[in-house]
Amino acid sequence: MTGNRQPFEHSAVDDAGRVTRRDFLRVLGAGAAVAGLGACVEPPRERILPYTARPPEITPGIATFYATTMILGGFGTGLVVKSREGRPTKVEGNPHHPASLGAAGVFEQASVLELYDPDRVRIPRPREGVGGWDAFARDFALLPASGGTEQGRGLHFLMEPTASPLTNSLIERMRTLHPAVGFTFYSPLAFTGAMEGARHAFGRPLQPVYDLSRAAIIVSLDADVLDADPFCLRYARQFADGRRLRSRRDAMNRLYVAESAFSTTGGMADHRLPLRAGDVADLAKALLAATATPEEIRPAMPLLSQPTPDGPMASWVRAAAADLRAARGQSVIIAGAQQPAVVHAIANALNAILGNIGTTVRFIEPLLPTESPEHALATLAAAIDAGAVDKLVILGGNPSGTAPADLRFGERIRSVRSSAYLGLHHNETALDCKWVLPALHYLESWGDARAYDGTASFVQPLIRPLYDGRSVDEVLAVCGGWPTTNAHALVRELWSTQPDFTVLWARSLERGVIENTASPPVSAALDWAGVLPVLAAEHQRAARDSIEVTFRLDPKVLDGRFANNPWLQELPHPITKLTWGNAAQLGPDTAKRLGIETGDEVSIAFGGGRISIPAIVVPGHAEMSITLPLGYGRSGEERTARDVGVNVYPLRTRNAPYILSDARVRGVKPGSREPLAITQGHFTMQGRMIAREATLAAYRADPRTIAPAHEPAPSLYKPAVKSGEQWAMTIDLSVCTGCSACVIACQAENNIPVVGREGVLKRREMHWLRVDRYYTGAAGTARVISQPMACQHCEKAPCEYVCPVNATVHSPDGLNEMVYNRCVGTRFCSNNCPYKVRRFNWFDYGSGIPEVLWMQRNPDVTVRERGVMEKCTYCVQRIRRAGIQAATERRALRDGEVVTACQQACPTRAITFGSLDDPESEVSRSRRQERSYEVLGELGTEPRTRYLARIFNPSPDLTV
Amino acid sequence: MREQRLFAEFASTGSLVEAVRRIRERTAGPIEVNSPYSIPELDDILGLKRSGLPRVCFASGVAGAAVGLALQWFTNAWDYPLNVGGRPLLSWPAWIPVTLELAILGAAIGGVIGLLVATRLPRLWDAAFEIEGFERVTTDRFWLGAAVRAEDAARVREDLAAAGAIRIASVPHE
Amino acid sequence: MTSSPAHRIDTPIVLDTDDDDAQLTDRLLAPLRSKSKVWYALLALSGAGMLLFVATSVYTFVGGIGLWGNNIPVAWAFAITDFVWWIGIGHAGTFISAFLLLLQQDWRASVNRIAEAMTLIAVFNAALFPVLHLGRPWFAYWLLPYPATMAVWPQFKSALPWDFAAILTYFTVSFLFWYTGLVPDFATVRDRAGSRGRRMIYGIFALGWRGSAEHWQHYRIVYGLLAGLATPLVISVHSVVSMDFAITQLPGWHSTIFPPYFVAGALFSGFAMVLTLLLPVRRVFHLEEIVTARHIDAIAKMLLAMSWMLIYSYVCELFIAWYTGDPYERYIFLQARPLGPWAWLYWAMISANVLAPQLLWWRSVRLSPLALFALSLVIQFGMWMERFIIIAGSLSRDFLPSSWADYRPTWVDLGLLFGSIGLFLFAFLLFLRFVPFIPIAEMKELRREIRGTA
């Protein structure tokens, strides 16, 4: 940071990211005292507690947990956050919250690292002149006293759409007091296609909420519902519950997916149709025509009477249609968020015709603005050009970086007389604004939120703000010049109108949800009048022989907002296994056509924009289509994000924000750039029985064929003495989507270092738990099977007997233990590990990072020194803590009392953990399933981790 | 009674052997023969008894093996038993290599120490070193040294000369 | 007097000179006084190499193993390859001096001390790598069984403590054998020394040896015993080293043929190294009459024999891999190695270890020092590649394709390899200059046997 230095009045962390002891204790004490956490203009110094008089709820060494809510894309996800000595260290899902159901995805898991990001904005400061919140208020705050409706003309707020009742109430208040003040909502995460589609189908914009648990047949039209959706954690759980097999007789739902890029949802499909995003509309029409009876769609008949396409598409449509007709009321058709309104309209129509509305899908009043964010932003751009904006306050987001290229929004921001940006980072927008204001991380701030289904919950801080930051609500209040600017007070004020508020407040903070606040379903009746025009309208579609380009939110950094998070940067992409960057995904034939292969480049030009980006060949990707992940090649001041990957926004325009049908694409060989940091180069299983799978039919016919029951390998040795619990894990490949939430959870829980791009290129990833991806089936109809792979805790562990110094030995309760301080680092154990799950500290990873990041460290887990091996411990720290708890209560451990980090995070409950000494424990029962098997069991390692073979459920009248 | 120590230098093994035979008849006293390289046939003539070093070597070899085996058993099976890879504590086949190596090590060290003791080496000084010309004993000359009674000295000198000594020296013997 | 070996080869001549003992002694002591320019040049060169080794070692200690190219799965690569390679080279020394002594091969006399010195230096070199290779080398002593405050002991099911014991024994016994052999010669140097200083220094090393018949008797016995003890070591040491790999279950490592296979390879590279060293020494110090064509020819034949033991091992390995039907074994032997990313290395190795040695069927090759020297270098390089393919190659393609990865060495890896060669030559050159590298007493004994008492 340069320019005139301001004293950080309330900051506990200095520029270098160092935490001074006194300040840390201050943060600590205050962080502990949950009441009065709001950061006011003048913080209440007398509240700052020295640790000697420690607050009652803190016992050193014992974690405390607080419920709070993380807002992403405008919707809240309820979380329970672990705090150690006042430091949030680990994020878990909140079982009571509808969007979480106890699970937490990669973004929720990684958000705790974002809190301690050393690159965060620290103090409110203008480009020149005096800084500080008072100075900001002088420049921007309105004076309600000298009222008048003209008050505030020229003041404009640009913010991300949010469902937060508090924020919206403040916006309303502002609008009523000062009608002249402008508001614009923009975020690449906000999709309006669904609501558009509803407007066409039902006459007014509505928001669909699905209930996959009641759906026997699920048809996804380019919709990644299991991984990229505000409700994806919930949907994933419901989907999994619909296909979790406890016995051969259990029923299983069936998933049809048509998509261009390979998504995690596509990976779970029973029938996946690689299809260009632009052609999905045709598929939808064909599906509508094939599914509904003529009288059901009589009005639309003329528009649908097109020759049904042939080839794989035809058979896919036939099978899906048959299944849908057979499962009226128990099926659901889901259109992809980035798909045009017509696809959503058809999906709605189909759901209505099949009687799914009210069972598997319900509609609620929209919680977010229905105007397309791109057009909203265009309007604002016009206003700026017209000189109607002289004070622009940007609350969050990163419009300069993510706005449609043709708006050249950054320049427009700079043209505004005075502008301010409230954000966590010095990103592109911050660089364009006159003022940069530090935003509060959600773990530091008060507020409230609504989940995708409308359920409200509070945002509760766990720690006193590390820097002199403010939340969006507080800045709105400051700008309004209102007396209360303290979010804590504001949120209480808003909700105090509720009956017996004090009870509600306490109970909601404790449970993490405000009960009975879900939006009521509204009736939605199909009206062809609205649908026909869109059916008639010719929609955007690339010519057969030209290559379509589509933009996708990256599953790791979304629109780029998480690009400065090293955990997410180093997380392998669920399908491509690419880390530290993005690449143009394309199918094998398209690659051949362009004369390139993985690692070469494609150069794409459209409008004024031209980019050159490395290519990565993905079997099963739709041909004649290229997928560009957004959010990389950032040019802000964030040290981690800067220049990682390629920025593809220059191609993204107002009218074609997601599907680009007429770009000029050309292959460049050889690629000029560095090699891609991919953690798994090899595609197939080499015909080895590693990640096993079979169709439901085959499994029912004869389970032995896919997963021969495990006979213990003959051994010369007497079995080792076992005492007490015998820990074991089972991973159900049938429901594992490969979303990788477990990987980040493990990283957060176990202080796993990041090795950076160079480290990955050298194949030195440190992840204790990795998710292996194998392609099965033919190139055209490739399917993906994901297999989480961590230490298998073999009873006859090959790693143990080769260690010369007894640094890895077996515990009586069946853990393969790694004794860091005894390890001399021969790496012999890794060589003899058939699963290659052991990691080595090539350098001193532990201490090389800014001190502020140390605050995230889990004090229950050793930070490993240079030169020692490490690996999955089955979260031994959790096992021991539970054991101590049970011991103090003079009782035995209960089944399910010990939950590993990966298990707790898993949205689909694919991971079971427990003790084998109880034959009725979940894990014991799961191991008795016929499809349970040991990976490489033939080696006689007797792993304690077993897998349940993946069963998928293709339509009998369609070969896979 | 007084004795003196005679030393004679020879140019060839033949004359040396001849000289040794003659002296043997004259005196029962110890005879030391020095040569630039080993001459096995002298052993009988000088009546050297068989070396006991092989036994020493064997004993120390057995000791080495015992130590090796005991060490592994004590450390891995008795003092700190650990479940290592589900293998038995007393996994003796894994202990063979170390036992063998230590056996050989013991035998070798024992043998060499035995050699030093038997030859009373190392030593920095020996009476013979004082004799002029003795240094060629490590190159191409052969020396014979014997303690004889003063009255025999003359006759012994004759014998040595007759045997072909090219130089005869005497040092008083105490 | 100097005669081209060519026409002498028919009559097995191990000592091609008419010197008397004194002349012979002087001739054999000459190198200790020589002022050979070549020697100084080589010393400087190898000294530079040694410094490179020191530099890269220190760098590794300070910076960590991360400075190497190793990764997961390829956690062992260059350093362990170098280790096995050096240990292997050591073997020929003991083989020549011990085995051939027991077999009464008189031709060994003039070459055995060079071979033994080579062994000692090579084993010392080798022993450095496992320590350097540790993640925390400063705790290397934890492999020793000593009563530690942590109360834990080494774990003797692992092959590494076996290694430790084997190398310790091998080095000690080789040293004792070598030194015992040297004592009478040190005495000779002492007695022929010009200056008092030399006399004192060599006098100390000579332990006061005066060639007493009684001493000679004990000496013969112990020297024979040491030879007998060293012989099983030739077999056991490299067998133990091979178990570092054989006891694992990694395809390409887990094989019962490894011990004999590794021993054969070790002797193969060892004899190659003997030639590499002997040919120039013989030339530089004009020892053609002492180290005659007969010796060179014998070693060359040894080399040929060893190459066939190795070829047998290769074939056996491939056959078993195919015969077991184990998919992992089959993949590594029948696909990954001959066709994988490192196929070029594999075929280079085959041509160096299998094809090249067949030239030795031709006597003209066996008699041409130049050809033999070149061949010996090729073979040593080939043996290094073999170890690398076995170690890194197998690791890079193991059970789960998800964890397959390739390996690239860094300049530090290369620095350590070439540096260790420099270190080896440096020590060897010093040995040539300060120790009688051809056993004087033994040669005179041999002369007596051949000529009879003159």
- What pLDDT, on a 0 to 100 scale, did the predictor assign at position A36? 39
CATH entry, C6-137+154-451, from 3.30.750.210, 3.30.1330.40, 3.40.50.2030, 1.20.1630.10:
1.20.1630.10
CA distances, B69 to each of A855, B88, B96, C156, C306 (Å): 51, 16, 8, 11, 34
C260 pLDDT above the threshold of 60 = yes
Beta carbons of A79 and A46 less than 8 angstroms apart: no
Per-window interface: A 825-844 vs C, CB < 8 A: 825-828, 830-832, 834-836, 838-844
Tens digits of residue pLDDT in C267-299: 999 999 999 999 999 998 888 888 888 889 989
- What pLDDT, on a 0 to 100 scale, did the predictor assign at position A673? 65
- CA-based nearest residue to A625, from A650, A596, A589: A589
- What pLDDT, on a 0 to 100 scale, did the predictor assign at position A230? 92
Among C221, C243, C447, the strongest candidate for a mutation testing the B interface, having the largest count of B CBs within 10 A, is C221
Q: Are strands B3-10 and B167-172 parallel, antiparallel or unpaired?
A: antiparallel
A25 pLDDT above the threshold of 50 = no
A306 pLDDT above the threshold of 80 = no
A21: left (phi over 0), alpha (psi -120 to 50) or beta: alpha
Q: Cβ–Cβ contacts within 10 Å for residue C154, how many? A: 24
C-alpha C203/C-alpha A249 separation (Å) is 92
Tens digits of residue pLDDT in A247-298: 888 999 999 999 999 999 999 999 999 999 999 999 999 999 999 988 888 8
C-alpha A594/C-alpha A606 separation (Å) is 17
Strand partners, A916: none
A736 pLDDT above the threshold of 80 = yes
Q: How far apart are the first and last CA of chain C?
A: 20
- The residue assigned the tokens 């709105």 is A476
On whether any CB of chain A is under 8 Å from the CB of C236, the answer is no
- The residue assigned the tokens 């209360």 is A484
Beta carbons of C353 and C379 less than 8 angstroms apart: yes
- What pLDDT, on a 0 to 100 scale, did the predictor assign at position A271? 93
Q: Name every chain B residue with its beta carbon within 8 A of the beta carbon of A806.
A: 80, 82, 84
Among A755, A786, A836, the strongest candidate for a mutation testing the C interface, having the largest count of C CBs within 10 A, is A836
What tokens does B32 get? 């030391």
What tokens does C429 get? 């050159």
C-alpha C449/C-alpha A815 separation (Å) is 69
C-alpha A613/C-alpha A646 separation (Å) is 6
Share of chain A above pLDDT 90, in %: 75
CA distances, C37 to each of A552, B106, C256, C284 (Å): 72, 44, 50, 10
C-alpha C277/C-alpha A695 separation (Å) is 67
A381 pLDDT above the threshold of 50 = yes
Residue A795 to residue B84, Cβ atoms within 8 A: no
Shortest Cα distance, chain A CAs vs residue B90, angstroms = 11
Residue of B nearest to C153 (CA): B75
Hey, where are the domains in chain B?
3-36+140-173, 53-119
Which of A718, A721, A798 lies at the smallest CB-CB distance from B85? Answer: A798
Strand partners, A395: A159, A422
Beta carbons of A438 and A119 less than 8 angstroms apart: no
Q: Cβ–Cβ contacts within 10 Å for residue C382, how many? A: 25
Q: Are strands A435-438 and A125-126 parallel, antiparallel or unpaired?
A: antiparallel
- What pLDDT, on a 0 to 100 scale, did the predictor assign at position C10? 42
C-alpha C154/C-alpha A828 separation (Å) is 14
Banded pLDDT at A321 (limits 50, 70, 90):
very high
C-alpha C217/C-alpha B52 separation (Å) is 11
Query: Dihedral sign, CA of C319, C320, C323, C327?
Result: negative
Residue B42 to residue C243, Cβ atoms within 8 A: no
Beta carbons of C407 and C396 less than 8 angstroms apart: yes
Banded pLDDT at A705 (limits 50, 70, 90):
confident
Tens digits of residue pLDDT in A388-410: 999 999 999 999 999 999 999 99
C-alpha A412/C-alpha A13 separation (Å) is 34
Q: Which of A447-461, A603-617, B17-31, C294-308 has the lowest mean pLDDT?
A: B17-31
- What pLDDT, on a 0 to 100 scale, did the predictor assign at position A391? 92
Residue B88 to residue A810, Cβ atoms within 8 A: no
Beta carbons of B137 and B13 less than 8 angstroms apart: no
Which amino acid makes up residue C35?
K
Banded pLDDT at A17 (limits 50, 70, 90):
low
A45 pLDDT above the threshold of 80 = no
Share of chain C above pLDDT 70, in %: 96
Q: Which residue has the higher pLDDT, A8 or C113?
A: C113
Q: Name every chain A residue with its beta carbon within 8 A of the beta carbon of C70.
A: 827, 842
Q: Name every chain C residue with its beta carbon within 8 A of the beta carbon of A801.
A: 155, 157-158, 247
Share of chain B above pLDDT 90, in %: 48
Greatest mean pLDDT range, B31-35, B61-65, B130-134, C27-31: B61-65
- What pLDDT, on a 0 to 100 scale, did the predictor assign at position B28? 72
C-alpha C317/C-alpha A165 separation (Å) is 73
Chains contacting A (3 or more CB pairs within 8 Å):
B, C
Q: Which of A461-465, A669-673, A805-809 has the lowest mean pLDDT?
A: A669-673
Q: Which residue has the higher pLDDT, A778 or B169?
A: B169
Sheet holding A182-185, edge to edge: A125-126, A435-438, A418-423, A391-395, A155-159, A182-185
Q: Name every chain B residue with its beta carbon within 8 A of the beta carbon of A799.
A: 85
- What pLDDT, on a 0 to 100 scale, did the predictor assign at position A26? 47
Q: What is the CA radius of gyration of chain A?
A: 28
CATH entry, B3-36+140-173, from 3.90.1150.60, 3.40.50.300, 3.10.20.740, 3.30.70.120:
3.30.70.120
- What pLDDT, on a 0 to 100 scale, did the predictor assign at position A896? 92
C-alpha B34/C-alpha B140 separation (Å) is 11
A901 pLDDT above the threshold of 90 = yes
Q: Cβ–Cβ contacts within 10 Å for residue A908, how many? A: 24
C-alpha A843/C-alpha A841 separation (Å) is 5
- What pLDDT, on a 0 to 100 scale, did the predictor assign at position A781? 80
On whether any CB of chain A is under 8 Å from the CB of C248, the answer is yes
Tens digits of residue pLDDT in A668-685: 887 666 789 999 988 889
C-alpha C72/C-alpha A764 separation (Å) is 6
- The residue assigned the tokens 């001459």 is B39
CA distances, A206 to each of A185, A195, A286, A363 (Å): 18, 5, 25, 6
Tens digits of residue pLDDT in A914-958: 999 999 999 999 999 889 999 998 898 999 999 999 999 999 877
**What's the average model confidence in pLDDT over A412-420?**
94
Residue B84 to residue A809, Cβ atoms within 8 A: yes
- The residue assigned the tokens 């003992």 is C21
Tens digits of residue pLDDT in C77-98: 999 999 999 999 988 888 888 8
Which of A798, A799, A809 lies at the smallest CB-CB distance from B82? Answer: A809
C-alpha A151/C-alpha A175 separation (Å) is 11
Per-window interface: C 356-415 vs B, CB < 8 A: none
Tens digits of residue pLDDT in C417-440: 999 999 999 999 999 999 999 999
C-alpha C207/C-alpha C179 separation (Å) is 11
Distance of CA A74 to the CA centre of its chain: 14
On whether any CB of chain A is under 8 Å from the CB of C235, the answer is no
Instruction: Tell me the average pLDDT of chain A.
Output: 89
On whether any CB of chain C is under 8 Å from the CB of A695, the answer is no
A243 pLDDT above the threshold of 50 = yes
Shortest Cα distance, chain C CAs vs residue A868, angstroms = 6
On whether any CB of chain A is under 8 Å from the CB of B86, the answer is yes
Beta carbons of C305 and C126 less than 8 angstroms apart: no
Shortest Cα distance, chain C CAs vs residue B163, angstroms = 16
Q: Name every chain B residue with its beta carbon within 8 A of the beta carbon of A812.
A: 83
Beta carbons of C162 and C186 less than 8 angstroms apart: no
Banded pLDDT at C246 (limits 50, 70, 90):
very high
What tokens does C57 get? 């070692």
Q: Cβ–Cβ contacts within 10 Å for residue C346, how many? A: 18
Residue A816 backbone dihedrals phi, psi, to 5 degrees: -85, 105
Strand partners, A913: A729
Per-window interface: A 707-766 vs C, CB < 8 A: 762-765
Tens digits of residue pLDDT in C331-365: 999 999 999 999 999 999 999 999 999 999 999 99
- What pLDDT, on a 0 to 100 scale, did the predictor assign at position C18? 77
On whether any CB of chain C is under 8 Å from the CB of B30, the answer is no
Q: How far apart are the first and last CA of chain B?
A: 11
Beta carbons of A857 and A89 less than 8 angstroms apart: yes
Residue of B nearest to A813 (CA): B83
On whether any CB of chain C is under 8 Å from the CB of A804, the answer is yes
Residue B86 to residue A798, Cβ atoms within 8 A: no
**What's the average model confidence in pLDDT over A859-882?**
95
Residue A797 to residue B87, Cβ atoms within 8 A: no
Residues 6+ apart with CB under 8 A from B10: B16, B19, B141, B142, B143, B144, B163, B164, B165, B166
Residue of C nearest to A680 (CA): C402
Banded pLDDT at A48 (limits 50, 70, 90):
very low
**What's the average model confidence in pLDDT over B101-124?**
94
Residue A831 to residue C75, Cβ atoms within 8 A: yes
A35 pLDDT above the threshold of 50 = no
Shortest Cα distance, chain A CAs vs residue B85, angstroms = 4
Residue C160 to residue A828, Cβ atoms within 8 A: yes
Banded pLDDT at C151 (limits 50, 70, 90):
confident
Q: Which of A180-184, A194-198, A574-578, B1-5 has the lowest mean pLDDT?
A: B1-5
Residue C158 to residue A802, Cβ atoms within 8 A: yes
Chains contacting C (3 or more CB pairs within 8 Å):
A, B
On whether any CB of chain C is under 8 Å from the CB of B53, the answer is yes
C-alpha C276/C-alpha A361 separation (Å) is 82
- Transcribe A676-704 into DSSP letters: PEES----S-TT-SSS-EEEHHHHHH-GG
On whether any CB of chain C is under 8 Å from the CB of A774, the answer is yes
Tens digits of residue pLDDT in A507-546: 999 999 999 999 999 999 999 999 999 888 877 777 788 9
- Transcribe chain B into DSSP letters: --EEEEEEEESSHHHHHHHHHHHHHH--S-EEEE-SS--TTHHHHHTPPPP-HHHHHHHHHHHHHHHHHHHHIIIIIIIS--B-TT--S--GGGGHHHHHHHHHHHHHHHHHHHHHHHHT---S--GGGGSTTGGGGGTT-EEEEEEEEHHHHHHHHHHHHHHT-SEEEEEE--
- CA-based nearest residue to B14, from C454, A109, C277, A511: C454
Residue of B nearest to A720 (CA): B86
Q: Name every chain B residue with its beta carbon within 8 A of the beta carbon of C148.
A: none
Containing H/E element for C365?
A: helix C363-367
On whether any CB of chain B is under 8 Å from the CB of C243, the answer is yes
**What's the average model confidence in pLDDT over A56-60?**
73
On whether any CB of chain B is under 8 Å from the CB of C165, the answer is yes
A51 pLDDT above the threshold of 90 = no
Share of chain B above pLDDT 70, in %: 97
Distance of CA C10 to the CA centre of its chain: 30
- What pLDDT, on a 0 to 100 scale, did the predictor assign at position B173? 59
- What pLDDT, on a 0 to 100 scale, did the predictor assign at position A146? 60
Beta carbons of C386 and C241 less than 8 angstroms apart: no
